[in-house]
Amino acid sequence: MIRALGRPFAGKTLLSNAFATASQHTLNHLFPLILIPYLTRILGPVGWGLVAFTQAFAQLVQVGVEYGFQLSATRELAINRHSRQKCAATLAEVTAAKLLLLSVAVMAAIILSKLIPHLESQPLLLWSAVIWTAGHALNMTWFYQGIERLRPAVVADLVGGVTSTVAVFFLVRHPDDGWKVLLIQGIASLLAAFATFYQAVGYSGLVRPSLSQVFQRIQSGRHTFAYRFALGTYSFGNPFVLGWMAPVSTVAYFAGADKITRATLLLVYPLAQALFPRVNYHAERGDEKAGRLATIGLIVAAVIGIASGIAVVLGAPVLVRLLLGSRFLPSVDVLRALALLCPLIAINTVLVYQWLLPRFLDASLTRLTLTAGVINVCFALLLAPRYGAVGMAWAVVLTEVFVLGGCCFSLMRARRAPTE
């Protein structure tokens, strides 16, 4: 893998970078999607629901370690990507900050696990989740997105995804083997992170950051961290929220439908992420091209989202039987409710990446997502205890509607500000 990463970088145009981003995002979702039919049948609703609950918990901890650097550091690299010295400083400071945050997050996770019923009696599952968190939190995609040279990250994800997927098929054979899923995926992610870090050092060099620089980096990224964490509570964190109010089988019904829904948006996230550094680059220079690129991205995302939503509504029974199995038929109604997320998430993603962040509306975005996170939990408390997984689905949809309105309001207020 190191040899593959060491070849000359490709993807210096927007088109090739978009293709690389799409490839990476597709791989990251394709391998888990391949595993779903196998795991739901081997582990069953209870076993797979427990894995989904624990993985959602691990993802929330991961966000605390990643700390929004996927946005703040990527934006900084996009602006300064022609300076090897600044790239090296950013690489060193972000890596040191992540390692510091990881040590804190692991200790916090172990303490919190004592308060979580589903994890208290599952030490193997907990420690597998810790390794999973470390592997994904130390991911180096942010660096390669910033310099618009994504090939090393794509190769690493491909090798890690293939290896971990094959290992899961061979090693997960019983209903109580759920902990092995997170352990295998975590080890593969750690190896990929080490390989891509090695390549990044070869590109930019490495400097030794001071402790004050590391803390300054953490302090400067607080807005994007708050945004990412709040976003997590009403996106991938929902199985964890639901697990406090319902049995793990109910978590499984919701998580299965949620994964299917978000898998239909494979093209939206790469589009937003590929355009993100380029829009920031032009916006920083006052170039009108930034607005044109952002508008094109919004139109394409909306079309993809609407088409995906219609496909999910019409194909819900077939998708559930094919991907989850006959024991997950309650997921059909959940999937149809979540289909409304397709256009909402598609539009919101582009509004955030191509409109709010390039205008440095980090504080507005933070307030919006924190409010959305609270609203999501409130809707969940209101709907999930009575309507189960379907109620949780509607809580997520209503939250995403609120986010859309908030994004539009923030943009309108920002446009009026200079003339007031």
Structural domain for 182, as ranges: 7-414
Please report whether residue 48 resides in a domain: yes
Lookup result for tokens 């998580």 = 255
Please report whether residue 199 resides in a domain: yes
User: In the structure, what pLDDT confidence band is assigned to residue 417 with cuts at 50, 70 and 90?
Assistant: low
Please report whether residue 1 resides in a domain: no
Q: What is the CA radius of gyration of the chain?
A: 21
User: Span 164-190, mean pLDDT?
Assistant: 93
From 212, 258, 196, select the one nearest 6 (Cα to Cα). Answer: 196
Residue 7 has pLDDT above 70, yes or no: no
Does the pTM surpass 0.85? The reply is no
Q: What is the mean pLDDT of the chain?
A: 83
User: Span 31-51, mean pLDDT?
Assistant: 90
Please report whether residue 419 resides in a domain: no
pLDDT score for 226: 75
Quote the DSSP letter at residue 9. P
Distance of CA 129 to the CA centre of its chain: 16
How confident is the model over 329-363, as pLDDT tens digits? 999 999 999 999 999 999 988 888 877 777 777 67
Please report whether residue 80 resides in a domain: yes
**Backbone φ, ψ for residue 190 (5° rounding):** -65, -45
User: In the structure, what pLDDT confidence band is assigned to residue 309 with cuts at 50, 70 and 90?
Assistant: very high
Please report whether residue 2 resides in a domain: no
The runs of H, that is alpha helices, within 147-263 are 151-171, 178-204, 211-220, 222-233, 238-243, 248-263
Q: Is there a contact between 1 and 155 (Cβ–Cβ < 8 Å)? A: yes
Query: Which structure tokens are listed for 412?
Result: 């309108």
d(CA 169, CA 39): 9
Q: Is there a contact between 276 and 268 (Cβ–Cβ < 8 Å)? A: no
From 132, 138, 136, select the one nearest 178 (Cα to Cα). Answer: 132
pLDDT score for 149: 79
Q: Which of 44-48, 178-182, 342-346, 352-356 has the lowest mean pLDDT?
A: 352-356
> Helix %, strand %, coil % for the chain, to 5?
85, 0, 15
pLDDT score for 341: 92
- Domains in the chain, number: 1
Neighbours of 88 (CB within 10 A): 18
pLDDT score for 273: 67
Query: Which structure tokens are listed for 48?
Result: 């797979």
Please report whether residue 78 resides in a domain: yes
Please report whether residue 239 resides in a domain: yes
Q: What one-letter code names the amino acid at 204?
A: S
